[in-house]
Structure 1
Amino acid sequence: MITLQFSTTKGVGSQVIRWATWSPYSHVDLVLDDGRLLGATARYGVSIRDPEPIQTYARFQVSGSVETIEAARSQIGRPYDWPGILGWGFRRNWQDQNAWFCSELIAWAFEQAGCPLLRGDRSHRITPRDLLLSPALIPVS
């Protein structure tokens, strides 16, 4: 099982993402076995980081494999998808990008491992809310 952490902060960017996507969370990461987080952030791009203070979070387990983590790790060093902010509302193909939003990276990694979290017809944009609605998620208490 793989653990996903959905989170939000007090920052303006977090508030805008939550408002624009109708989501209680603005960010999602993979939780590694050592407790560090693997994901895409505006500050670091795709990276492994120690957890930072957050306002709210929820964790979910999902069936996945080591290939999911390896796919995400293969993207370390890629930048955050700043140009994608302009194209966020349009049907751009996020799978061909060299930069990532947090939710795009997570969805792509699971897809690469043969364990898609979403239906294929939603592939034009992926938000934390989209992932949160996946029936594959099991809440961690």
Structure 2
Amino acid sequence: MAKIFIGQYHGKSFLSRLIKWRTWSEISHTAAFLPVKNTFGNDCIEAWGNKVRKGSFNKGHTQGTCIDIYSIYCTLKQRDSFYKWLEKHVGDKYDWCALVGFVTRKHIESDKKWFCSELIFKGLEENGIFLLQNIEAYQVSPGQIGTSPILNYETTIHT
């Protein structure tokens, strides 16, 4: 048995507050934390800023932001394939149009651009891990990720 680690950010910026208000959630951002042995490390892959990036979990985030870390139990093959799928998308552009569509409830998306929760949800789905049923990746907000019954709370960290 292996674990995938998901970070749920309680953002503080204006955009984060707007996302939280629009989605009726305390969560504004989602990232996949890279595993180190049986726990998580300081690096993550996330759709953040202008692109999908790999790096420190706190880079570009407001100091003091709370991040709830959750794990998902899976096979070693699923875990490795999930992180490889994410690595393949590092450098893809951030999907600002989809984010606007998300806030306005209009379906605007691109296969080569991502927003945070869409990237994580789709990566899990592509590897046989289904967080939620009957919803498309472009419809999933960061807060909805946290409602999945397969998430296991690990700890809370801060930027």
Q: Return the TM-score normalized by structure 2.
A: 0.79
1:16 aligns with 2:18: yes
Q: Could you tell me whether the CA contact under 8 Å between 2:117 and 2:141 is conserved in 1?
A: yes
Instruction: Tell me the secondary structure at the aligned position of residue 133 of structure 1.
Output: coil
Paired with 2:50 and 2:9, the residues of 1 have a C-alpha distance of 16
Aligned to 1:67: 81
**Could you report, residue by residue, the CA deviation over 1:1-37 in whole angstroms, capped at 9, with x for unpaired residues?**
0111111232100000011111111001111134201
Q: Which amino acid aligns with 2:19?
A: I
Question: If each structure's strand is expressed as a fraction of its own residues, which one has the higher value?
Answer: 2
**1:57 equivalent in alignment to 2:63:** no
User: After superposition, what is the alpha-carbon deviation per residue over 1:84-117, rounded to whole angstroms, capped at 9, x for unaligned?
Assistant: 133221245x5x5211010000001001111121
Q: Give the secondary-structure state (helix, strand or coil) at the position aligned to 2:25.
A: coil
The more displaced of 15-24 and 51-60 is 51-60
Q: State the partner residue of 1:90.
A: 106
Equivalent position SS for 1:16: helix
Residue deviations 1:39-97 (CA, integer Å, cap 9, x gap): 101x24101021223422111001242111111111111011011133221245x5x52
> Match for residue 118 of structure 1?
132
Aligned to 1:40: 47
Q: In percent, how many aligned pairs have the same letter?
A: 24
Per the alignment, residue 135 of structure 1 pairs with 149
Contact 1:37 1:49 in 2 (8 A): yes
Whole-angstrom CA distance in 1 between matches of 2:83 and 2:64: 23
Q: Contact (CA 8 Å) 1:8, 1:56: kept in 2 or not? A: yes
Q: How does the TM-score come out when normalised to structure 1?
A: 0.89
Letter in structure 1 aligned against 2:67: Y
Q: Where does structure 1 lack aligned partners over 5 or more consecutive residues? A: none
The CA RMSD over aligned residues, in Å, is 1.6
Q: Distance in 2 between matches of 1:47 and 1:4?
A: 15
Of 52-61 and 108-117, more deviation after overlay is shown by: 52-61
Residue 104 of structure 1: which of 114, 118, 121 is its match?
118
Q: Which runs of 5+ in 2 are unaligned?
A: 36-40
Choose from 3, 6, 13 the match for 1:4: 6
